[in-house]
Amino acid sequence: MKPSPLFLSLAAAGPLAGVAGARDSDARKREGFLSALPSEPGPHLEKSKALAEGAWLNLGAPAADPQWGKARGRSWSCRMAFASKLRGAFLACVASHGALAEDASQPGEVLAEPATLHCLAVRWPLKGDANENAVIEVQYRRTGDREWRRGFPLVRTFADPHPQNPTPAVRVAGGRMFAGSIVDLAPATAYEVKLALHDPDGGSVEKTLAMQTITEPREPAGMRVRHVAPGEGGGTGAAGDPLRGLPAAFAAAEAGDCFLIHKGTYPVQSALEVKVSGTAAKPIIFRGAGDGEVVIDGGGTHATKGRLISGNATGHVWLEDLILQGRQYLVVAHESSHWVIRRCTFREMEKGFTAQNGGYEVSRGHFIADNTFIGGTHWPRTKGIEGFAGIGISGAGHVVAYNRMEKLGDGVHGTGHGNLSASDFYNNDISVCTDDGIETDYAETNVRVFRNRIANVAHGVTAQPAMGGPIYIFRNLIYNATYSPFKLHNHTTGVRLFHNTSLRHGGPFVIQPSSETVTNVWSRNNLFLGTASRALHTTGRMRLCNFDSDGYGGFTEGFAVWNGRTYKTADDARADGVIYHERGALLLDPNTLFATGLQPPSDPSVEYKISDLDLRLKAAAGAVDAGVVIPNFNDAFDGKAPDLGALELHASLPHYGPRPSQPPRP
């Protein structure tokens, strides 16, 4: 805000004329710059008549400026001299009128981000609002419903302060980008989304958008079926005369082809190249025929250089029911869109599915579900960071769900190449990642990581950095994260941690990015359980962070270190009001929380079996009904209030990893 004092000659309107007891019968004869001002006696007349000598009259807020809106301040005036010739009085005051221009919001155009099955998202650039008091409330309803439901307000983003991490997507000259998601929606459903911008300084406006979630990809009717069997060339593709070998099939592929690949091993010498794109109505499908295992085999190991399947700059290519193995890179599709990878097994590899570089507009809409990715790492970590990764994608509108990932470095590897935004990672079952379970590193806006089960990792979920966010990380189960459940390094900015359950050996929650900044991270209703040290230990410079209503247990030293200050107890931290603005932290005993009696890991070098990890709360646990309401993130809570952690008491358990049932075909 740059206050720019301005001498205002507020002409005596009716009330001020009234101070001097003037009559307005001849007001129309007035001339000069005051002549157009209203002259009828106003509501202040009686008040001003009653003014004593030396008393002051509150004139209330000035009328809204037609361009900049309502001013923040109030104007005050004393009893003043009446200029009889002008039939009015002057009011002199100083107001920060110059600030109005910057403090009022000047909303730009709302951008609807690519929708996913369960989430909708927007970006909304706002200029002005230098005093950062604008809020954008969100409401939504199914089209046709009467009742609106509350969403979580849009998040004001703050660009990464690190000079090496420029973030054009969230930088708005003279303002801020707001962004946010609505989660847990039904697929293939039309919604109305109402965004209400409130700024007391002006610019308030409401916008309603028609938006629609997408559906899980289904094979369109009318595909041309072409059969494939092992062999070396020839065949027509008919059931009785299949194409022999995959090079023949890949070379012949056209939009609308569905290759049914019959059982057997298909050796690959040079990479199988996808050379043409499908379309939404006519994808190109390579699918195991269902008569036995189909193994596409590069003949090597994770260390054998090269690709197994390559499809740069292609779209609408499907790989289903296949086993892919024997190359460093199994499937690479940079600058591609709308690939479907479903029910496949990736093994004997370093990188499973890699698709980046295209950026926000080009890399769109990959659907990666019900697959298994197996790398070559072992627990515990002994070799530093290893290159194995199940998935590496960037761009927007992706869904990565119900996959199993194991023996990797990173389950999902983040990348600085390509503006990951508006994408979902959910219900994945991830165990033994010697680095990170799911990375959202370098993601820009509206990435959602939820309902995953993650065990035996260095970090559960990383955002190092989130480039503005919001990155919503919610309802994940994280067991045995040897460094921290969440990695918030590299000047991260814009993370929301809601309803996660983490049990680890050591301090319950450590945020230790040396002395980098950690900006605009909010934490609510999480369970952080450990075995030692402090409940919460941060070494970063914590800015604009808002932690509240988390449960901590199992620590043995003082409560927290935050911005260099030590808080001996949770009450000290709450009293100080820096970490906790409202309820503060809840202290819990890990021994009493879970129905199975599960404890934090006693030995982090043990590989805990992920399917054994039952983190449902005990009915009498202190975490039950101990949370706060977070609109759209815990509306369906049981009992009096939301429980802390990922699993609400009595709620049905999520399914993690590949689903047993097959999606319907036409």
Does position 643 interact with Ca ion (CB under 5 A)? The reply is yes
Least distance from Ca ion to the Cβ atom of residue 346, Å: 18
Question: What CA–CA distances, in Å, run from 213 to 118, 181, 183?
Answer: 6, 12, 10
Side-chain-side CA neighbours of 9 within 13 Å: the count stands at 6
Choice from 67, 84, 133, 208 touching Ca ion (CB under 5 A): 133
Nearer to Ca ion, 350 or 436 (CB): 436
Does position 386 interact with Ca ion (CB under 5 A)? The reply is no
CB 445, CB 114: distance < 8 Å: no
One-letter amino acid identity for 404?
R
Does position 635 interact with Ca ion (CB under 5 A)? The reply is no
The span of 50-58, 192-200, 239-247, 540-548 binding Ca ion (CB under 5 A) equals 192-200
Least distance from Ca ion to the Cβ atom of residue 54, Å: 35
Nearer to Ca ion, 131 or 165 (CB): 131
Specify the DSSP class assigned to residue 386.
-
Does position 335 interact with Ca ion (CB under 5 A)? The reply is no
Choice from 576, 638, 650, 662 touching Ca ion (CB under 5 A): 638
Nearer to Ca ion, 101 or 253 (CB): 101
β partners of residue 266: 296
> First vs last Cα of the chain: how many Å apart?
60
Does position 406 interact with Ca ion (CB under 5 A)? The reply is no
Does position 348 interact with Ca ion (CB under 5 A)? The reply is no
CB 65, CB 128: distance < 8 Å: no
Choice from 160, 199, 257, 350 touching Ca ion (CB under 5 A): 199
Nearer to Ca ion, 336 or 354 (CB): 354
Choice from 102, 201, 257, 320 touching Ca ion (CB under 5 A): 201
Choice from 27, 300, 625, 654 touching Ca ion (CB under 5 A): 625
Least distance from Ca ion to the Cβ atom of residue 563, Å: 27
Nearer to Ca ion, 321 or 436 (CB): 436
CB 574, CB 552: distance < 8 Å: no
Does position 103 interact with Ca ion (CB under 5 A)? The reply is yes
CA–CA dist 334, 24 (Å, integer): 77
The span of 130-138, 304-312, 494-502, 656-664 binding Ca ion (CB under 5 A) equals 130-138
The span of 79-87, 95-103, 223-231, 472-480 binding Ca ion (CB under 5 A) equals 95-103
**3-state SS class at 344:** coil
Least distance from Ca ion to the Cβ atom of residue 263, Å: 37
Q: Where are the beta strands (DSSP E) in 423-530?
A: 423-426, 429-439, 447-450, 453-462, 467-474, 477-487, 493-498, 501-503, 509-511, 517-524, 527-529
- In total, the chain counts a number of residues equal to 666
Nearer to Ca ion, 160 or 201 (CB): 201
48-87: which residues touch Ca ion (CB under 5 A)? none
Choice from 436, 444, 516, 550 touching Ca ion (CB under 5 A): 436
Choice from 410, 424, 516, 550 touching Ca ion (CB under 5 A): 410
SS3 content of the chain, % helix, strand, coil (to 5): 5, 40, 55
Does position 350 interact with Ca ion (CB under 5 A)? The reply is no
Does position 320 interact with Ca ion (CB under 5 A)? The reply is no
CB contact set of 31 (below 8 Å; sequence gap of 6+) = none
Does position 435 interact with Ca ion (CB under 5 A)? The reply is yes
The pairing of strands 135-142 and 190-198 is: antiparallel
Residue 395: name the closest of 318, 435, 338 by CA: 338
The burial of 612, by beta-carbon neighbours within 10 Å (0-12 exposed, 13-18 middle, 19 or more buried), is given as exposed
Least distance from Ca ion to the Cβ atom of residue 100, Å: 9
Q: Give the chain's largest Cα–Cα span.
A: 108
Residue with tokens 């119900």: 402
Nearer to Ca ion, 150 or 198 (CB): 198
**3-state SS class at 33:** coil
Residue 403: name the closest of 355, 447, 344 by CA: 344
Nearer to Ca ion, 266 or 373 (CB): 373
Least distance from Ca ion to the Cβ atom of residue 322, Å: 27
Q: Which two tokens stand for residue 234?
A: 């020839």
CA–CA dist 587, 572 (Å, integer): 13
Residues that bind Ca ion (CB under 5 A): 103, 129, 131, 133-134, 199, 201, 410, 435-436, 625, 637-639, 643
